[in-house]
Structure 1
Amino acid sequence: MSKAISTILGGALLLTSVASAAQAGGLERNGYNWDLLFDQDRFASEAGVIYVMPDRKIKNAVDTDPRDGLGANGIGGGSTSTHETPNYTVPRFGAKVGLTPDADCLASYSQPWGVHTNPGADWVGANQNIETDIRSNDYGLTCSYKFDVGKGQLRAIGGVSYQAISGYKNRLVVGPAAFGPAAALFDGQGKLDLEADGVGWRIGAAYEIPEIAFRASLIYNAEIDLGQINGTVDLTGLPPMSTGRLAPFANRITDVYGTATMPQSLEFKLQTGIAPDWLAFGSVKWVDWSVLNVVSFCPTSTKGIVSCGPTSPVLLTTLDLMFQDGWTVAAGIGHKFNEQWSGSAQLSWDRGTSTGLTTQTDTYLLSGGVSYAPSKNVELRLGGAVGMLTAGSYGPTSCPKTGGCGNDVTYDFGDDFVGALSLSGKVKF
């Protein structure tokens, strides 16, 4: 691959990462990215960080569940609008080594999944969510082997990942107004903490013609079975109770367990040189987010006695997601300005994964980036993106749970802004 195309490609790959982090369907935070595996140098390492600024605003909120009182304080108080999504950062690192002229391996660290919503405790939907924060760490090893085929090379790809998930959700369980004189001592909130891990694998193939920077790749990432999710439900924000479903758990911390699977995905990427110093690229990605619907949590003490599910008699709490599959389509173009500078631009669309229980609707994004190579061994990249999070609403949704899901609050959200910045550096030789 010529130095010109290599430099242009660096800026193009930057846009793939910044767009993925900013669109974030389902629990996606930065997804998977194995592009460094294709670097033509014997050794290449890359580190970067993406800063995302979503501005999702909730409005017209109505508390529709009188069982915990009405409003954030249980007697009708609280705002009907709030900001839901704080800014977040996504780091990544990779190091690729050419073991032989035909065999390459990439060790990588990323945070593929995650979500952080923080509407706070002072809105009328506090019984649905005060703060939710899910994080992930993925440690991967991906290798490939090349064969000469026709004018180019066919590359077989395979790899494994160890993935760890952790997080929490905090919400209003019982309005403090119901506590009488004890309201000064208890806030009525409950918190679910969870952690889990699992191992996954990937397989794929690519066909490359380096002289014209042509590459077509298809990579399948298998689902990751998290096995048993371990956690706790903290209801120390409730006073002791003598009756009711929560009486055995009030004013204490209870060990809980559940099960979940992180989704499989399939991504096709295509790039090619189209004229001297010009590169076109695009991708289509499918993610099986529908595998996450209602995640149930039951007391660990009941494991092996009664099954845990959305309608289990020992169910303590749930994470109601009910995602639909995600699709992302992107296309862009890159150009080399001189021996050191190149730039690229990309348009992308992400189909929202929400079916009524989240604010993750369709996202449209325009991304741009520049790449600066002060020497043949070092490359610096800076990128940015602006986009629109499309409008929608939250409310009652059909789900495998008695009484359905989304019966706690209703609200709307409009077309909102999202922005992102990315900075990365690459060393190769």
Structure 2
Amino acid sequence: MKKTLTGAALAALAATGAQAGGLDRSGQSVSAIFDEAGTARLSFGYVMPSITGEDTGGGGGDYDVGENYVQPGLSYTNAVKGGFNYAIILDKPYGADVSYDDDPTTSNLGGTMADLNSQALTFVGRYAINERFSVFAGLGVQSVDAEVTLNGNAYANAITTGAITSQFNAGLPSGVPELDSSVLGAAIAGDTDARDAIIGTYGSTAYTNLASSFAPTRGAFVAGDGYDFEMEKTNRPTYLLGAAYEIPSIAMRIAGTYRFETEHKADTTETVFGTTTDGEVEYVTPQSFNLEAQTGIAPGTLLTLGYRWTEFSAVDLVPEALGSDLVDLEDSHRYTLGIGRQFNEKLAGSASISYEPTNDNETVSPLGPTDGLFGLSLGARYNDGPMSLSGGVNYTWLGDADAGVADQAVAEFEDNHAVGVGLQVAFTF
């Protein structure tokens, strides 16, 4: 009965794989390490985000940028003599599927898109010190690849201004302060104070030359269909450490898992202003910490709690030609609270809520145009001998946000949500 109840309490979250903060997809749980020996799990989730916004540029229309995605998962758990057991876990920890389907010549973000894929295969070994205390560690391999396009009027202005500024600064004599691209952008947009500041520092001829090069450089950006970035797949080792405390008689367990930051180095191809550049980029996938807890609170009733921190602020992806961060995300903090109820020996149900606080920034990345969330999940599990079948559905309210380019709001996103559905089947051999 405890096996069925525990599985039902987790089914709503584990099966649906609902959208989370930053680039999080799977949540990277290692709960499979606590499965009965000889257990295999297979899960399949399908998530349907509805992320709509309005262009603030005047010429553009409405955006519908959320792309549906699949979230699969696989694990196998078995025991070894002497208090050891292990789990092999396959998941997709991170991802992004965003597309601004609008005319890039009349909207701020039309033509912008991001497609990030990842896979991870992790081996986790656990040693039970006694009935209550255990420690575990994991070694795995993680792969990541991505394709990003930045387009539309907002990126045309920002990237053009950045390129002109970078070229100008490269030719300055030693000791002369460098020009900030935001100052040049403001001056070209008609800010007289910004224009006078450039003239006062570098002379009127310098400003005239800068301004005159803006239109043809911007034209080359538009003619080349914006900025395109492709990052080849890399495979890197990953590591984790954890510990757990359990009281089996009341189905109580508290488990903490720390995952180390993973360093990547990938080959890249950038195309902008009609020029293609092959290069290399170094970046990390973030360190994280998961705290997962459960306890029986009454006969046939289980309470679950969870917390996940992910350091997305450390994920700086700065391609050579672009010269700025493609990710630009804040750390994610996710809280969950759930309850499971046993109906009979074979059937149990669950309900849970999830919450991520807002970061309250004035703007967010157009490649992740929401801020915070609140979700509700319902799940059920049917157990029949060695096989169990779990199903769940999730509805998540996504927080409002202004998408920004160069710290300027260019689109407003309000009243958005995501729906996730999923199935999980488990066999104990």
Specify the TM-score bucket, using the shorter chain as the normaliser.
0.7 to 0.9
Structure 1 segment 24-173 matched on structure 2, within 5 A: 24-39=20-35, 41-62=36-57, 79-100=60-81, 102-122=83-103, 124-125=106-107, 130-148=112-130, 152-172=131-151
% identity of equivalent residues: 23
In the other structure, the counterpart of 1:7 is: 4
Q: Does 1:223 align with 2:261?
A: yes
Shift of 1:126: 5.5
Partners of 1:320 and 1:99 in 2: CA distance:
45
Which secondary structure state, in structure 2, belongs to the residue aligned with residue 140 of structure 1?
Answer: strand
- Residues 48, 68 of structure 2: 8 Å contact kept: yes
Q: CA RMSD in A?
A: 2.4
**Does residue 224 of structure 2 align to residue 202 of structure 1?**
no
Given the two structures, how large is their TM-score scaled by the length of structure 2? Answer: 0.78
Deviations 1:103-134 (A, max 9, x none): 11111111000111011242544657521100
Matched-pair contact (CA < 8 Å) for 2:12–2:391: no
Quote the Cα distance in structure 2 between the aligned partners of 1:297 and 1:342: 50
TM-score, normalised via structure 1 length: 0.78
Structure 1 pair 353/159, CA: closer, same or farther in 2 (3 Å)? farther
Residues 289 and 353 of structure 1 are in contact (CA less than 8 Å); yes or no, is this contact kept in structure 2? no
Q: Give the superposition deviation at 1:316.
A: 3.5
Q: How many residues align?
A: 360
Q: 1:174 to 1:327 in 2, by over 3 A?
A: closer
More helix by share: 2
Change beyond 3 A, Cα 1:197–1:318:
farther
Q: Distance in 2 between matches of 1:87 and 1:138?
A: 21
Over alpha carbons, which structure has the higher Rg? 2
Distance 2:111 2:324 in 1: 12
Match of 1:23 in 2: 19
1:390 is aligned to 2:399: yes
**3-state SS of the aligned residue for 2:56?**
strand
Alpha-carbon distance in structure 2 between the residues aligned to 1:417 and 1:12? 23
Does 1:357 find its partner at 2:380? no
Partner of residue 400, structure 1? none
Unaligned runs of 5+ in 1: 64-75, 236-245, 299-314, 397-404
Whether the aligned pair in 2 keeps the contact of 1:324 and 1:354 (CA below 8 Å) is: no
Q: CA deviation at 1:147?
A: 1.6
Moved more, 278-287 or 99-108: 99-108
CA shift digits 1:46-84 (9 cap, x unpaired)? 011111111110114328xxxxxxxxxxxx5xx321101
Contact 1:129 1:169 in 2 (8 A): no
Change beyond 3 A, Cα 1:81–1:127: closer
